[in-house]
């Protein structure tokens, strides 16, 4: 019996600290993963998740989120939900329903209202200013939209050998109304089976779903591969396949954790992530794609962290 957690990006670090305390105290993987994600959703300077997340092209913050219980395989998801402080908590609540467990658009928001979830205007002044700036720049310089699509995804293993996975995102900046990505989609954005392990994705959802990458990684772990082997094989072969078949591949990164507490990641861009386990204090690592379908992973430097902090809080010009 051991516990562990892994989550995408630097932004998950404080949530990983919270989750690691909970797991250490014997809390469940489901409670820990929800609180981990909630913390990222609530922080206004993370511009791709929850409060402070960047809006769609109409200036509306639309969020996608999911939750999966690795013991029962129960899932809940929302797509294009609005005005909800904690989309992942709505998803987790839906996972307790056998029917109607994936709700989108106005119907998803209606569920949150009916069930008393915290409602707020998710568009911060800062996010609104970025949106207005982007609109102006696109008009004047024909800029490409769709930068910034960083989902928080996390996997947890608790002392009872139960696992959970959850995701939350405001999706592509400047997306079209009602666009959803991989984050709420079983097998693409997330998957977990407590008898094997779990995986979660971040990146261009439109491409991640072409390869069902989270399910693929869990299957490979089920066939005996380590999380790192499974991530490397699934991600780099799919990048190759997508370039050959579709002509290009967007940016994406996958994380995985098995039910022994071993983890792995693979990515086709610079990718930070956070981990903690019974043996390992919460830590931020940075990954890059390396040669021969492998991933180079090292501790993040203080310089990187300082630059990150400065960047996310920089005044908007």
Which residues are marked as active site? 151
Looking at the Cβ atoms of 53 and 80, the one nearer to its own copies is 80
Among 3, 215, 263, 271, binds its own copies (CB under 8 A): 215
State which residue, 20 or 89, has the beta carbon closest to its own copies. Answer: 89
179 is in an annotated binding site: yes
| Interface with its own copies (CB under 8 A), residue from 12, 162, 169, 219 | 219
Q: Would you count residue 211 as binding its own copies (CB under 8 A)?
A: yes
Sign of CA dihedral 41, 45, 51, 56: negative
User: 253 to 312, contacts with its own copies by CB under 8 A?
Assistant: none
User: Should residue 240 be labelled a site residue for its own copies when binding is judged by CB under 8 A?
Assistant: no
The contact mask relative to its own copies for 171-200 (x = CB under 8 A, - = no) is -x--xxxxxxx---xxxx--x---------
Nearest Cα neighbor of 77 from 180, 7, 214, 176 is 180
52 is in an annotated binding site: no
Torsion sign (Cα): 56, 154, 205, 178: negative
The answer to whether 53 contacts its own copies (rule: CB under 8 A) is no
Q: Which of 30, 50, 55, 80 binds its own copies (CB under 8 A)?
A: 80
In the bound complex, what is the minimum distance in angstroms from residue 151's beta carbon to its own copies? 15
Cβ neighbours around 289 below 10 Å, total: 19
246 binds its own copies (CB under 8 A): yes
Of 119, 115, 121, 147, give the one whose Cα is nearest residue 133: 147
* CB-based contacts of 106, cutoff 8 Å, min separation 6: none
Of the candidate spans 25-33, 43-51, 243-251, 273-281, the one that interacts with its own copies by CB under 8 A turns out to be: 243-251
Single out the residue of 212, 207, 131 nearest to residue 170, CA to CA: 131
75 near its own copies, rule: CB under 8 A: yes
Determine, following the binding rule CB under 8 A, whether residue 209 of this chain makes contact with its own copies.
Answer: yes
Contact between 17 and its own copies per CB under 8 A:
no
Q: Which is nearer to its own copies, 147 or 294 (CB)?
A: 147
**By C-beta, is 127 or 218 nearer to its own copies?**
218
Based on the number of CB atoms within 10 Å of its own CB, is 115 exposed (0-12), middle (13-18) or buried (19 or more)?
A: exposed
Contact between 220 and 233 under an 8 Å Cβ cutoff? The reply is yes
CA–CA dist 313, 131 (Å, integer): 16
Count of CB atoms situated within 10 Å of the CB of 25: 10
- Residue pair 273/7 in contact (Cβ under 8 Å)? The answer is yes
Least distance (Å) from its own copies to the CB of residue 168?
17
Calculate the CA dihedral of residues 93, 25, 167, 10 and round it to 10 degrees. 150
Specify which residues 31 forms β-bridges with.
none
Chain residues that interact with its own copies, rule: CB under 8 A: 62, 71-75, 79-80, 98-108, 110-111, 145-146, 172, 175-181, 185-188, 191, 204-206, 209-212, 215-216, 219, 241-242, 245-248, 250
């Amino acid at each position: 019996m051991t516990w562990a957690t892994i989550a995408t990006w630097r932004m998950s670090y404080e949530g990983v600290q919270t989750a690691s305390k909970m797991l250490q105290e014997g809390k469940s993987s489901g409670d820990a993963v929800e609180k981990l994600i909630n913390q990222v959703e609530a922080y206004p300077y993370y511009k791709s998740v929850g409060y402070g997340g960047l809006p769609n092209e109409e200036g509306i913050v639309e969020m996608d989120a999911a939750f999966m219980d690795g013991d029962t395989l129960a899932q809940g998801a929302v797509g294009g939900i609005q005005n909800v402080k904690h989309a992942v908590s709505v998803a987790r609540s839906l996972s307790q329903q056998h029917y109607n467990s994936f709700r989108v658009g106005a119907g998803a928001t209606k569920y949150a209202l009916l069930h008393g979830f915290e409602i707020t205007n998710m568009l911060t002044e800062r996010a609104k200013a970025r949106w207005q700036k982007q609109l102006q720049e696109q008009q004047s310089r024909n800029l490409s939209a769709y930068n910034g699509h960083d989902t928080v995804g996390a996997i947890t293993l608790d002392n009872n050998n139960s696992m959970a996975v959850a995701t939350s995102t405001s999706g592509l900046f400047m997306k079209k109304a009602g666009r959803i990505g991989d984050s709420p989609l079983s097998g693409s954005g997330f998957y977990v089976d407590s008898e094997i392990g779990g995986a979660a994705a971040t990146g261009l959802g439109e491409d991640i779903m072409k390869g069902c990458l989270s399910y693929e990684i869990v299957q490979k772990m089920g066939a005996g591969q380590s999380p790192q082997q499974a991530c490397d094989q699934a991600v780099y072969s799919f990048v190759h396949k997508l370039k050959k078949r579709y002509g290009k591949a967007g940016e994406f990164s996958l994380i995985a954790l098995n039910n022994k507490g071993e983890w792995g990641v693979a990515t086709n861009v610079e990718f930070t992530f956070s981990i903690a386990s019974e043996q390992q204090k919460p830590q931020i690592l940075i990954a890059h794609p390396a040669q021969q379908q492998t991933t180079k992973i090292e501790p993040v430097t203080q310089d990187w962290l300082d630059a990150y902090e400065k960047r996310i809080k920089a005044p908007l010009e």
